[in-house]
């Protein structure tokens, strides 16, 4: 069985983009792959996080993983910081990476060009930690949204570089993105991706949003003046985004939805999207409330850390031996 691994960085509340682009797919994969999913809490702190809020976001993220259908008996769910080997291999891979290649990472460039105060060194080197997350587990496949593909590319390059220098050690991982929904856009500005760092809060649907609030965000979504439902990401990005959301949640193809809307308007489309989203959120929220205050979260993480630590420790030892760091 091939191994698949992915991580999620809950620096805020989880949203519909995370669900469609990542979470929902993990649930489908858990029967066909040996699946590892982890909460990337070491990645969260590349930017200051208020401690109580971070703790809540982490706990919510695990509860939402489980609520969305991840089953701890079928896959390994763990907290990154419970496995010390991540930080350690992260450092060793930082020492295999070049300043030039890290400076070319789009996410780093975007963040540093904003000229915000306090761009941490962690933001610069975090792709090396991400490479360690992946390479420790010999992951064959890494499901990520479009925005993370470049980081998986770096993990591939580092694996090849290490294998060439020290002999075969790492599996070279493949990134995969879902065909529909790998980049859900903001409802208030469809030129940007739906993101938890949305300042207006209108463009992003959170999985724990009140259903009326979620419906309102969809009915207020920015569209265009064309007046006809087409899937045309360039000229009708807002409508195309709504079509993608609907298709992802109902499994109806975009072509088929567009056909049904030959003689119907935007209002009807928004209504149908809102129904699909609210139905999805209601199911998730119902399960979330059953899980969040139970001891399932703790027992899941304990079991996950045991399994992950065994695999990660073995790989780290192998790396250190090859590099000449370990003496015995």
Q: Which stretch binds ligand ATP (CB under 6 A): 177-185, 216-224, 243-251, 287-295?
A: 177-185
Which residue from 238, 216, 241 is spatially nearest to 226, judged by alpha carbons? 238
Q: What angle do CA 116, 10, 153 make, to 5 degrees?
A: 75
Of 9, 193, 217, 270, which one is the catalytic site residue?
193
Q: What are phi and psi of 108, to 5 degrees?
A: -65, -45
Distance from C-alpha of 313 to C-alpha of 85, rounded to nearest angstrom? 6
Q: What length does the chain have?
A: 328
Q: How far is CA 33 from the centre of its chain?
A: 18
Q: How far is CA 166 from the centre of its chain?
A: 31
- Using CB under 6 A, count the residues that bind ligand ATP: 20
Interacting partner of 133 out of ligand LTN, ligand ATP, none (Cβ under 5 to 8 A depending on kind): ligand LTN
Q: Which is nearer to ligand ATP, 18 or 34 (CB)?
A: 18
Contact 269, 239 (CB under 8 A): yes
Q: Which is nearer to ligand LTN, 23 or 239 (CB)?
A: 23
Active-site residue 149, yes or no?
A: no
Of 2, 56, 74, 111, which one is the catalytic site residue?
111
Active-site residue 59, yes or no?
A: no
Q: Which is nearer to ligand LTN, 137 or 288 (CB)?
A: 137
Q: Applying CB under 6 A, does 150 fall inside the site for ligand ATP?
A: no
Minimum Å gap between C-beta 40 and ligand ATP is: 7
- Own/partner contacts of 26-30, CB < 8 Å, gap of 24 or more, are 26/65, 26/68, 26/70, 26/75, 26/143, 27/68, 27/69, 27/70, 29/4, 29/143, 30/70, 30/71, 30/74, 30/75
Binding residue (CB under 6 A) for ligand ATP from 64, 77, 130, 184: 184
Binding residue (CB under 6 A) for ligand ATP from 183, 260, 303, 322: 183
Interacting partner of 175 out of ligand LTN, ligand ATP, none (Cβ under 5 to 8 A depending on kind): none
Which residue from 195, 7, 18 is spatially nearest to 86, judged by alpha carbons? 7
Please give the residue ranges that form the binding site for ligand LTN (CB under 6 A).
Answer: 5-7, 9, 40, 43, 130, 133-134, 142, 144, 148, 151
Active-site residue 9, yes or no?
A: no
Task: Give the side-chain half-sphere CA count within 13 A for 73.
Answer: 0
Q: Which stretch binds ligand ATP (CB under 6 A): 91-99, 141-149, 267-275, 316-324?
A: 141-149
Distance from C-alpha of 37 to C-alpha of 41, rounded to nearest angstrom? 12
Which residues are tagged catalytic? 111, 193, 196
- Footprint of ligand ATP (CB under 6 A): 8-9, 17-18, 20-22, 144-145, 147-148, 181-184, 193-197
């Amino acid at each position: 069985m091939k191994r698949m691994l992915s991580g999620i960085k809950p620096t805020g509340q989880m949203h519909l983009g995370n669900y469609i682009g990542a979470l929902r797919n993990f649930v489908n994969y858990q029967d066909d792959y040996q699946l590892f999913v982890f909460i990337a809490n070491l990645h969260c702190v590349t930017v200051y996080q208020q401690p109580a809020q971070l703790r809540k976001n982490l706990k919510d993220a695990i509860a939402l993983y489980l609520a969305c259908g991840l089953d701890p008996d079928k896959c390994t769910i763990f907290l990154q910081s419970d496995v010390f080997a991540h930080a350690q291999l992260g450092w060793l891979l930082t020492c295999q990476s070049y300043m030039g290649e890290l400076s070319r990472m789009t996410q780093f460039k975007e963040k540093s060009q904003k000229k915000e105060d306090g761009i941490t060194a962690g933001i610069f080197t975090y792709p090396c930690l991400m490479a360690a997350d992946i390479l420790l587990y010999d992951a064959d496949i890494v499901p990520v949204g479009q925005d993370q593909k470049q980081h998986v590319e770096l993990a591939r390059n580092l694996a090849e570089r290490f294998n060439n220098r020290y002999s075969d050690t790492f599996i070279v991982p493949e990134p995969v993105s879902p065909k529909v929904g790998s980049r859900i856009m903001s409802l208030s500005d469809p030129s940007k991706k739906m993101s938890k760092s949305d300042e207006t809060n209108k463009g992003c649907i959170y999985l724990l949003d009140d259903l009326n609030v979620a419906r309102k965000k969809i009915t207020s979504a920015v569209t265009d003046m064309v007046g006809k439902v087409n899937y045309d990401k360039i000229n009708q990005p807002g409508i195309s985004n709504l079509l993608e959301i609907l298709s992802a949640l109902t499994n109806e193809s975009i072509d088929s939805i567009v056909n049904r809307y030959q003689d119907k308007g935007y209002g009807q489309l928004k209504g149908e999207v809102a129904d699909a989203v609210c139905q999805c959120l209601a199911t998730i929220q119902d399960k979330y409330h059953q899980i969040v205050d139970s001891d399932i979260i703790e027992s899941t993480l304990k079991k996950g850390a045991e399994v992950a630590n065994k695999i990660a420790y073995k790989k780290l030892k192998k790396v250190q031996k090859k590099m000449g760091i370990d003496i015995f």
